[in-house]
């Protein structure tokens, strides 16, 4: 069966100015996202993984129009949205919600839980108060809370409960796509699995599509259908989960996976220690962005930036080792 594409990024770039000259012009630019391209299909979980500063959260904010790309295209449900105005984006945002890393910081501490969950309904619908409260109470039940929590304030909740409220808020207007930016990394390990299970169950129930942003390859393995590995603002490798974990091609992906603990005391694997410094995102290297840390670096890697190639069906890699 042909899968429906819900989101496409095509050569998306984003820089941020740093410093100022005497004339007030930017002194330099941080190249946060560089030529990022990928497709996301309806009903799947597409994860973006990489170390801190690799551009994964910036990519999430570009998708959600919280940032505007310098160049490239972002298509959502057949419409190019990268350059539209905030007014034009408002109805589209109803279909595209975000869950943030810090559940405490993303909830206004002065608002009751019921008001926080009701707020998107006030913005995006013309339902009356009774209809809105019916949805609020239903959603509290769906995310594992109850109507008795509705009148409380965020500080009365644990981190896991706050994230459940964040998820309920994201679900209020029946979105098609949810961008979850490190949604469990601020939670206790014991709570992480519960929130992952909740996200998984909600996906099955509502045919949600997730863009799941994480630094944690163990978590990503649990929840993803396909994964993009980012390094220095570039996509190094994109593949279905089974191919990425079973046959990692990019030396950076190999190194990341070698650090993932395996819950089997008899299984010993060699950890690849990356040496060399991460290049500055202000002065990007001319060739491969990973060259300074790659044990397989060849002369051409220093001169030419590798293009992305499809090495096997659905498995894309940007590395000169693959012709």
Please report, for residues 207, 212, 228, 236, 261, the alpha-carbon distance to residue 250 in angstroms, rounded to integers and kept in the order given.
Answer: 32, 21, 11, 7, 19
Alpha helices in 144-290, H assignment, sequence order: 159-171, 189-206, 217-223, 241-246, 251-258
Instruction: Find the angle CA(218)-CA(221)-CA(224) to the nearest 5 degrees.
Output: 140
Closest contact distance (angstroms) between CB of 259 and ligand SF4 is 17
Closest contact distance (angstroms) between CB of 298 and ligand SF4 is 6
CA distance 93 to 3: 23
320 touching ligand SF4, by CB under 6 A: yes
Burial of 246 by CB count in 10 Å (0-12 exposed, 13-18 middle, 19+ buried)?
exposed
284 touching ligand SF4, by CB under 6 A: no
Span from 105-113, 155-163, 209-217, 292-300 in contact with ligand SF4 (CB under 6 A): 292-300
Q: Which of positions 161-220 make contact with ligand SF4 (CB under 6 A)?
A: none
179, 288, 308, 316: residue in contact with ligand SF4 (rule CB under 6 A): 288
Query: Residue 99 or 292: which CB sits closer to ligand SF4?
Result: 292
- Give the per-residue contact string, 246-275, with ligand SF4 (x = CB under 6 A; - = no): ----xx------------------------
294, 308, 311, 316: residue in contact with ligand SF4 (rule CB under 6 A): 294
Contact predicate 140/171, CB 8 Å: no
Applying CB under 6 A, the site for ligand SF4 has a residue count of: 14
CA distance 120 to 98: 12
| Residues in touch with ligand SF4 (CB under 6 A) | 250-251, 288, 290-291, 294, 296-298, 301, 306, 319-321
């Amino acid at each position: 069966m042909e899968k429906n594409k819900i989101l496409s990024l095509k050569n998306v770039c984003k820089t941020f100015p740093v410093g100022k000259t005497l004339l007030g012009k930017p002194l330099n630019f941080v190249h946060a996202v560089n030529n990022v391209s990928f497709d996301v299909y309806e009903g799947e979980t597409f994860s973006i993984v990489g170390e801190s500063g690799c551009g994964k959260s910036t990519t999430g904010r570009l998708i959600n129009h919280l940032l505007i790309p310098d160049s490239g295209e972002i298509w959502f449900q057949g419409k190019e949205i990268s350059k539209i105005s905030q007014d034009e984006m408002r109805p589209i945002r109803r279909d595209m919600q975000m869950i943030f890393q810090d559940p405490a910081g993303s909830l206004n501490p002065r608002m009751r839980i019921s008001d926080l969950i009701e707020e998107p309904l006030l913005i995006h619908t013309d339902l009356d108060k009774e209809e809105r409260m019916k949805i609020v109470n239903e959603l509290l039940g769906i995310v594992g809370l109850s109507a008795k929590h509705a009148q409380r304030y965020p500080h009365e909740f644990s981190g896991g409960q706050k994230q459940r409220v964040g998820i309920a808020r994201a679900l209020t207007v029946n979105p098609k796509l949810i961008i979850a930016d490190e949604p469990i990394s601020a939670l206790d390990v014991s709570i992480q699995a519960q929130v992952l299970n909740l996200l998984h169950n909600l996906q099955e129930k509502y045919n949600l599509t997730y863009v799941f942003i994480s630094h944690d390859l163990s978590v990503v393995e649990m929840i993803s259908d396909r994964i993009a590995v980012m390094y220095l603002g570039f996509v190094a490798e994109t593949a279905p989960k089974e191919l990425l974990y079973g046959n990692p091609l990019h030396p950076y992906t190999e190194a990341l996976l070698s650090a993932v603990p395996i819950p089997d005391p008899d299984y010993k694997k060699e950890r690849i220690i990356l040496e060399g410094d991460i290049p500055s995102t202000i002065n990007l290297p001319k060739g491969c962005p990973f060259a300074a840390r790659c044990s397989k670096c060849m002369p051409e890697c220093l001169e030419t930036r590798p293009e992305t190639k499809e090495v096997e069906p659905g498995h894309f890699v940007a590395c000169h080792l693959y012709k």
